[in-house]
Structure formats: structure tokens, C-alpha cells
Amino acid sequence: MQVSDIADRYDERLCPGDYEDAATNGVQVGPLDGEVERVAFAVDAAVATVEEAIEWGADLLVVHHGVVWGGLDAVTGREYDRIRPLVDAGCALYAAHLPLDGHPELGNAAQLADALDVENRAPFGAHAGEHVGVRGTFTEPTTADDLASTLEAELDTGDQPVQTLDFGPDELSEVAILTGSGSDWLREAEAAGVDALVTGEGKGKLYHEAREAGVSVFLGGHYATETFGVRALQSLAGEWGVETAFLSHPTSL
């Protein structure tokens, strides 16, 4: 199997052309005709994950956050440090950003919703005509403390607690999930009538906005909430007969 074969299979599932994205989705570093026996998966294409992938002998590294955002004016500095080892080792890089947030089955939000037993799902997190999150109903109502505990058990937070803004009702039934930097969608969560918003990181204004909206917000960390999508892509690759490895580099952020 070649790099282009795997990329085509992922593109067919993720439909990257449907998303308006600051990131370049797809193969960011060649070779397209490279033979693939080993595929490494990571959230971030950082120097640490690139070096680990190459040390493991990966022919392809698949990530959520790649190295090309809005194009590259020059391959110098940090970009050079990340790209050069891939080129030297003949290891390709495939990235899926918003398409991997919004996919209704493989996406970060959908996979986290699976872990939280969320049913009756609908799209959430409108972005340029598409959605990058989900909302739905907990199988059983829960409390803020119990939801935070569940998230801490499910997420690779680097031993950091899940931050909770407990401004919703005592029993939480309806939830919106938008991983990573999803706090800007609080107003949509309020308009949807949910009790809770689960995301990765927040901004200073979020405290008062959540309090005024009467919505409980749970901040599990940008990295921690976005391991799910690449792990789902890893499972697919395993079905295609290649050897896979997940490279864990939690940031506690």
C-alpha cells in the first residue's frame, strides 16, 4: 500500500473539501508513492512526535495538527526542524484538522460522545456551513462532579484536573461537545438549550458568559480532548493491514 492509497481512503471518509480550514488537510509532506508498512499516529506534528515516529520506523505519520497552516512562506526555523527529519527519513505526513473534528463517527467530538454515553445526537458547532461538534442527551442524567470524574478517567490530561464552571442545573441531561478550542460556541450551546458544554480550553470571558447563560462548562484540555480522532484513524489503518502505533505526548493544556 502506498501513501497515496491511505490518503485517498482517509479523504473519502473525512471529505476535507467540505471544510473551510486554516490548515492544509491531506498529505503535507511526501512522497505520495512511498510504500507504507508502518503508520504512526499523534495529535501534533511536533519535533518530539516526528522524531519518535522516525525512530519507530514509520513510513507515514498521521496527525490532527500538522505543519502547514495557511500555506508556508518559507521552510525555516521551527517548520524546518519538523519537516527536515521527515524528508531525510522518507516519512510522509498526513494531517486532518477540522474534518477530524466534525466527522459524525470518526471525529473527536463524536468519539468523546461515545465515551460519555451520549445519544440522540445532532450536529453542533457551526463553522462556514459545516459542523465541528455534536450535541445530544446523556443516557442517564449526571452531576457536574460525576461528569468531571468521568472526563478525568477518559482523557489523557497529564494528571491535570478537568476545570469545571458549574453554572448549569444540578442534574445535567443535555450536552454539547466541541473539542480543542471550542469555548467560542457557548452562545450556540445556550441557544440549543443544553445544560453543559464539554470542550478543551477556555478564554477569560468564558467564566461570566457561562454563568450568565446558566451552562456548566468542562475544560478537559486541548490535547486531551483531541486524541480520539487520530485513534479512530489508527483503528482504520489497522484494518487495512499496516502496523500502527500511537505516540502519546500529553501537554496538560
Is 156 annotated as ligand-binding? no
With beta carbons less than 8 A apart as the criterion, state whether 85 and 51 touch: yes
Task: Measure the CA dihedral 190/210/203/105, to 10°.
Answer: -40
Is 249 annotated as ligand-binding? no
Per-residue CA distances from 87 to 39, 180, 184, 238, 239 (Å): 16, 29, 37, 24, 27
- Which residues lie across from 163 on neighbouring strands? 219
Is 97 annotated as ligand-binding? no
With beta carbons less than 8 A apart as the criterion, state whether 66 and 10 touch: no
- The DSSP secondary-structure symbol of 24 reads P
Task: Measure the CA dihedral 180/105/194/141, to 10°.
Answer: -110
Strands (E) across 9-49 are located at 26-29, 38-44
CA distance 222 to 202: 9
Is 114 annotated as ligand-binding? no
Residues 6+ apart with CB under 8 A from 219: 162, 163, 164, 165, 183, 199, 200, 201, 202
Is 222 annotated as ligand-binding? yes
Summarize the annotated binding site as residue ranges: 64-65, 101, 222, 226
| Residues making up the binding site for a divalent metal cation | 64-65, 101, 222, 226
